[in-house]
Amino acid sequence: MDRLLLTAEEVAEVLNVGRCKVYDLIRNGEIESIKIGRLRRIPVDNVRKFAERLIEEGRA
């Protein structure tokens, strides 16, 4: 089964940025996340949408 949710550290690795930058993106609403109890998780689809948005902005 493919993973549906990623930690901030995993997203940072995928995007090649720091963990703090991922939390900044979440705080600014650029990447949507969910809370499960006290844990913060980011759906894989939201990471893909964020990357696609960056690519489109780069083309403009």
- In terms of residue numbers, what domain contains 32? 5-59
Mean pLDDT of the 45-58 span: 95
Q: What is the pLDDT of residue 25?
A: 97
Q: What is the pLDDT of residue 8?
A: 97
Could you tell me the pLDDT band of residue 41, with boundaries at 50, 70 and 90?
Answer: very high
Mean pLDDT of the 26-48 span: 97
Work out how many domains the chain is built from and give that number: 1
Structure token pair of residue 40: 């913060």
Mean pLDDT over all residues of the chain? 95
pTM: predicted TM-score of the whole model, two decimal places: 0.89
Q: Which residues contact 27 (CB under 8 A, 6 or more apart)?
A: none
Q: How many CA atoms lie within 13 A of 20 on its CB side?
A: 0
H or E element in which residue 34 lies? strand 34-36
